[in-house]
Chain A
């Protein structure tokens, strides 16, 4: 069965600092991988996704993620965090060609200090 692990429940960074949020997945093959962001009172918004090809994926709001097959990881990064990035971030996986069935991780709450 597919599963997603986000080992960090809560991360705090200073504004302007770099950010890396970790995501590990369990799946027999390479799944489709997603990062979503959820701001307070808002629905989930897709930041980026990986299906195949270049393992470094660029997304919206200056985020990027790198797929590492050997580590079963898909970590999210941003070189310089803004206060508006404070939110909850969810990693999700789906079977290839079946993106209906999203399996979400438990999320990482990001707090940004000025």
Chain B
């Protein structure tokens, strides 16, 4: 069974530029999550999708971050414009359905460096 795929694996940009990350969850997984992991910290949930609808985006800085999952499968996370403090690893995870006991499977992440 293929795992969660993410691309690119690394990205370096200048501040005020824009960047986009792509995630392909495990086949059949209805729920998709984006996490931000700043160096020295644990992952923090940014947004959760159930199929193509947003369940929770309360921690997403909506003035600069956006995410979509148009067909309920792949997802894209965008930052525009990027700030220095956005340097982090962006992790995508998926699970079959939300709720008790269902494991979240994580992708390898995209490491973003903002100069």
Contacts and interface: CB of A to CB of B under 8 A. Distances in A.
B106 A51 contact: no
A99 B106 CA distance: 14
Contacts of B104: 46, 99, 102
A101 B56 CA distance: 10
A104 B42 contact: yes
A26 interface: no
Contact of B100 (A51, A92, A107): A51
A44 B91 contact: yes
Interface size class of A (residues with CB under 8 A): 20 to 34
A76 B101 CA distance: 19
B21 to A, nearest CB: 14
Contacts of A96: 100
Interface in B79-115: 91, 93, 95, 98-109
Contacts of B42: 4, 90, 92, 104-107
B31 A100 contact: yes
A99 B91 contact: no
B6 to A, nearest CB: 8
A96 B101 CA distance: 9
Interface of B: 3-4, 9, 31, 33, 40-45, 48, 55-56, 91, 93, 95, 98-109
15 contacts: A32-B100, A41-B9, A43-B91, A43-B107, A43-B109, A45-B106, A98-B99, A99-B98, A99-B100, A99-B102, A100-B48, A104-B44, A106-B41, A106-B42, A107-B40
Interface of A: 4, 32, 36, 41-46, 49, 51, 90, 92, 96-102, 104-107
Given A42-B108, A104-B42, A107-B40, 13 more contacts: A43-B91, A43-B93, A45-B106, A49-B101, A97-B99, A98-B100, A100-B33, A100-B48, A100-B95, A101-B56, A102-B45, A102-B104, A105-B42
